[in-house]
Amino acid sequence: MRWMIGCLALAGCVTAGQPQVPQAARLSAEVLTVTLADGTVCRANWATVPVGRLDVCGPGFGYAVNVVEKPNALRQLWTGLTGALGAEGAVPPMAEVVITDATGRDHVFVTPPSTDD
């Protein structure tokens, strides 16, 4: 029983020691969701503030959302079709999301993520 408690305590220390590095960024029509390596999830309303700060998230991160204004024809067709069917905003925008950490290092994500991985 003691070894189990020791293992759980050690696992907690390992998790607590992970750096708060952005691992993923996702967009909805209005919300940017950033997931850090330690499991922390941060959110910001990017539609209102496309360039800003996630101050309450870990050490604080800057973010910038650069929407692709003219996606390919198939993407435009799909977005138009879902909008015509009353599902406006159901298709997340294509964008490059840049998360800047406290050291000034940029972490770049493309959303929606590529399925090539």
**Burial of residue 41, with CB atoms counted within 10 A of its CB: 0-12 exposed, 13-18 middle, 19 or more buried:** exposed
The pTM of the whole model exceeds 0.85: no
Query: pLDDT per residue over 44-90, tens digit each?
Result: 999 899 999 998 887 889 999 988 766 555 555 555 555 555 655 55
Query: pLDDT per residue over 9-55, tens digit each?
Result: 444 444 455 568 999 999 888 899 999 999 999 999 998 999 999 98
Tokens of 23: 């691992």
